[in-house]
Structure 1
């Protein structure tokens, strides 16, 4: 009943009923963290955009429309945030240790998407992992695993 009332008030106010993702949804926090990371070096490449979409879709089990909606919701949330804690605090409360490690893994997927690891990206992952309670050892192991699977941009196609 409350959901119907909320929907009615949104319709009455002309606010689109587009988001299935609450502000405190861990998926929004995860996506916002990844969006922040993808733009931290000043350039968001197509490879990073594609990696963001693919990572969220596969790790969170979303379809195309849900993934696009999540990215839109997270983009708004990321624009309002002043630090990583806004995202990591939600993730730390919502996820177990394996889930938090998965977030760090997703971060490395974004970092390696463009074929280059920038120092600031590495630093953001380190800080976020620390705030998430993911050990340095596990963070480095995740980095190595993702790096081993990353294909350099200038690799020859065979």
Structure 2
């Protein structure tokens, strides 16, 4: 997954069409972290997959097919990731504080989608929040907001 992100960033540096590549990168970055949360327990339940698709469609104005392609690519690259640090570095370089908050909110929404917060899910979201320098108050606000938004 991290190799794919690095490849996309290299494309940004070598292309005149930075805006288009930047949008693709942000979608892949978001999808990759959301997939990490969804698959941290080595299982991707249908509710989690549906939540992933819905979040990407809403946030990036994608159709279902485009969202699913991005999710499939993120899943396929999941085993290739070696470190959160390099990945979160990309988030720090491209995301505003608001974007970081929305990303963490979406991570919580994925975690809550199966109505069970696994210890590994919480650890992953907390670690990502720390690595992207999201203030703790916004981390807890995102969790509370996602909890209130969940469907039972």
TM over 0.5: yes
Q: Distance in 2 between matches of 1:122 and 1:134?
A: 15
Task: Give me the TM-score of the superposition, normalised by structure 2.
Answer: 0.79
Task: Give me the TM-score of the superposition, normalised by structure 1.
Answer: 0.76
Higher Cα Rg: structure 1 or 2? 1
Q: Tell whether the 8 Å contact from 1:33 to 1:78 is kept in structure 2 after alignment.
A: no
Deviations 1:79-131 (A, max 9, x none): 31112223222121111110111110110110000011111101100000111
Q: Tell whether the 8 Å contact from 2:111 to 2:121 is kept in structure 1 after alignment.
A: yes
- Structure with greater helix percent: 2
- Segments of 5+ residues of structure 1 without an aligned counterpart are 1-19, 153-158
Q: Distance in 1 between matches of 2:137 and 2:52?
A: 24
More displaced 10-residue stretch of structure 1: 136-145 or 24-33: 24-33
Q: Tell whether the 8 Å contact from 2:106 to 2:146 is kept in structure 1 after alignment.
A: no
CA RMSD of aligned residues (A): 1.9
Q: Distance in 1 between matches of 2:64 and 2:89?
A: 27
More displaced 10-residue stretch of structure 1: 117-126 or 57-66: 57-66
Q: 1:21 to 1:74 in 2, by over 3 A?
A: farther
